[in-house]
Chains A and B, each alone.
Chain A
């Protein structure tokens, strides 16, 4: 069946301050089609969607909607051209009613003698909801009183309505970014029913999800993105989970990059253990053992629970079930400061928000976690702070104009090295590295890998959340895989026998 081309994007690139999120991707969507879009974290899926909906412009490349050039300045312009998106983040105003949300921003259309005619608006809202098979939703109900599945349907109704009303009777393109993460199986099936109703009318849907089984169920064609590039594009009849996994993962990088020669076997002693640990509504039944001198990697997509486990281990969040033992002693932390006293420290993922103090100097940043060690009689001695700074700048080859330079003036890689210095200076011996090479150039990345090897060689232990699957596998002695809040697998990752990325990805999605 020959379907007419509805939307196409050609050679889209997107750079953010030197990193290339998209290196030239293509996407074609036909009328009445469901196109699945899959890929690892950071593959560029959400970035592309945001470009299509007009939240951000592409750096280069062209888009066409119904044959005409398409370059929306903002989401409203995209709506006018027939493109709508249901974002990953909830975009409903919870204290307003369903109807008011559906028509939000368009209340003027219902004004009569200076008053909004809510009665008419609710009638129209009912019609819109019926169109997407949600006639059971009462448009007068406040969104805050609805469960997620219902809110999700309201969002879809809102987007479909906005897009269609702006665009007249033409065919529309609806983008769905991870629409099923909060839905159970029955609710997912309901969503699919809606999608099929839409496509039966000739509209098209792009379905982004890391639930590969769902993507395989609903899509007509599937695109695979990897590292900001097209990595594959298959018809549903040719697609299998294995083929998707193969396309998604990259080639393994050279052994020297991860200093595999320096990978040591950890000792037997268990320094950190969690038993049946969980945070209600986030993750549960997590049993993790960290040995002395070990690098333990945890892999998973966003929402798998790996971030949250680290928050619990470093003392930021209290678990609602289970126990944690540090060096054999049962512990319960109310704050990271308490965890630090037991030698646990996390280098956070959001460097700018949680890792550095931008306006303090390099030296001052390094001294943030171990002030007591640099003090005498309760006063921090500048001499000791400076000595420490000089030592670490030399040791880690940190490029800075001086130890008193403001941290914000350093490059990303060097900022990260300062954060490392702070962690090491604190004499923590259980260090959690949360995406330690994010926003860091290749040269500095390698130095950080070497540094991590050195650190465990000295007897410290590391939990690693890698930026890429490759990094996680390459650096770790052992890798744990998480999905939807549960541990789904564990792999030995000895230097001479690393597991394949495919075997990990299979358990992640």
Chain B
């Protein structure tokens, strides 16, 4: 009987050790993204010397970081609850296009100023809300709803400017892309402001905690009375808001309101979120991870551009990165701790 207990103990210890080993592996993986960023910076500095490691390139990178950061922030929350949002390209382009035709532009006599921007963002908020509602209440998988809306929003964008994209002629607006403060471009400040808001939401509100819970196991928050449906809808709505801001920022950069403001924004954002360490399964990671992830993608894009790499090959490289990151971080045959 005593021998039995000793042997049984060893089995429990084995199990405990298995979990400990998994946790150790997790801890290592947590630092991998920072390592990758450092490696990239070193690599490009070596490859392109002072062209890459200069103050002006630093500002360029900051400029290039703004939109990917905004988009990835919205996507982070969606992925944390275990869903996916493929509408990005459409929503971003739609917000930019709508803002363009509402601001003072060369196609019509509108001059809504700030209200134009607000309306454009409200449209993308509404799209996010719809995606959330349809996914949650009608039980349509999120990838399907969001993909449908990607096309719908692109369509709305085209309709907004009916063929010829509007060029913004508002003088204040035209000055925005060149504005900077403390060396950091205005658009990056906008992105950083949103980042601060997202950190606040994630760390200092109950909503932020509930997001982790919903992504881990829906039954737990449900049994405590958390309205899981509402959490999910809020997440998609928040994402819609961030995508809208990204669209407006895109318009600031291009000064031309076309649907293509959004083109190609989703893929690097996906890669950024996953590389940063936010698990596709949900319940893990967060906004801080996305900071590193987006920096990696932006530095990579900047560096590859500088090296003259073909843009299609660039996309291929991004694809490989997503694949490798997901393979490394997916839990295969996880040890379920049910007693």
Residues of A at the B interface (CB closer than 8 Å) are 55, 74-76, 88-96, 100, 104-105, 107-108, 111, 114-116, 118, 144-145, 147-148, 178-179, 181-185, 280-285, 303, 483-486, 488
Q: A90-B338, A90-B339, A104-B224 are in contact. Are A284 and B7 (CB under 8 A)?
A: yes
What residues of B have a CB within 8 angstroms of the CB of A89 in the complex? 338-339
Give bound CA distance, A347 to B62, whole Å.
60
B15 and A182 form a contact (CB under 8 A): yes
Q: List 24 A-B contacts (CB under 8 A).
A: A55-B223, A75-B224, A91-B223, A93-B217, A95-B283, A95-B284, A96-B209, A100-B209, A104-B209, A104-B220, A116-B205, A145-B23, A148-B16, A181-B339, A182-B339, A184-B12, A185-B5, A185-B9, A280-B14, A281-B16, A281-B18, A284-B10, A485-B7, A486-B7
Residues of B within 8 A of A90 (CB): 337-339
In the complex, are the beta carbons of A486 and B4 less than 8 A apart? yes
Interface string of B213-248 (1 = CB under 8 A from A): 100110011011110000000000000000000000
Is B212 touching A75 in the complex (CB atoms < 8 A)? no
Q: Is the CB of A281 within 8 A of B9?
A: no
A-B contact count (CB 8 A): 110
Contacts of A283 in B (CB 8 A): 11
Neighbour of B11 across the interface among A55, A74, A88, A284, CB < 8 A: A284
Among A94, A96, A182, contact of B12 (Cβ-Cβ < 8 Å)? A182
Decide: A74 near B223, CB < 8 A? Known: A90-B338, A148-B337: yes
Which residues of chain B have a CB within 8 Å of any CB of chain A?
4-5, 7-20, 23, 26, 200, 204-206, 209, 212-213, 216-217, 220-221, 223-226, 283-284, 335, 337-339
User: A93 touching B339 by the CB < 8 A rule?
Assistant: no
Which residue in B216, B221, B283 is a CB contact (below 8 Å) of A105? B221
Q: How far is the CA of A105 from the CA of B231 in the complex (A)?
A: 12
- Inter-chain contact A105/B338, CB cutoff 8 Å: no
Contact call B204/A115, Cβ cutoff below 8 A: yes
| Chain A residues, CB < 8 A from B224 | 75-76, 104-105
In this complex, what residue of A is CB-closest to B337? A90
Q: With A281-B11, A483-B4, A485-B11 in contact, do A107 and B209 touch (Cβ < 8 Å)? A: yes
Are B225 and A184 interface neighbours, CB within 8 A? no
The distance from the CB of A384 to the nearest CB of chain B, in whole angstroms, is 37
Set of chain B residues within 8 Å of A488, measured between Cβ atoms: 4
Contacts of B205 in A (CB 8 A): 107, 114-116
Q: How far is the CB of A341 from chain B (nearest CB, A)?
A: 23
A115 to B196, CA, bound (A): 14
Q: A105-B224, A182-B339 are in contact. List 8 more A-B contacts (CB 8 A).
A: A76-B223, A88-B338, A104-B209, A107-B206, A116-B206, A181-B339, A281-B15, A486-B8
Q: Are B4 and A280 in contact (CB under 8 A)?
A: no
Q: Which residues of A contact B339 (CB under 8 A)?
A: 88-90, 178-179, 181-182, 303
- Alpha-carbon gap, A285 to B224, bound state (A): 42
List the B residue with the shortest CB-CB distance to A53. Answer: B223
Which of B19, B213, B283 contacts A104 (CB under 8 A)? B213
Complex Cα gap A108–B227 (Å) = 14
Residue of chain B at shortest CB distance from A144: B23
Q: Which residue of B lies closest to A179 (CB)?
A: B339
Contact B18 A280 (CB under 8 A): yes
Chain A residues near B16 (CB-CB < 8 A): 147-148, 281
**How distant is the Cα of A39 from the Cα of B295 in the complex, in angstroms?**
58
Q: Give CA–CA (A181, B14) in the complex, Å.
A: 14
* A105 x B225 contact (CB < 8 A): yes
Chain A nearest CB: distance from B261 CB in Å? 33
Inter-chain contacts of B18 with A (CB < 8 A): 280-281
CA A458 – CA B136 in complex, angstroms?
A: 54
Q: How distant is A102 from chain B, measured CB to nearest CB, in Å?
A: 11
- Asked if residues A93 and B12 are in contact (CB atoms below 8 Å), the reply is no
B326 vs chain A, min Cβ distance (A): 18
- A446 and B141 CA atoms in complex are apart in Å by 44
Contacts of A108 in B (CB 8 A): 206
User: Which of chain B's residues have a CB closer than 8 A to the CB of A114?
Assistant: 205
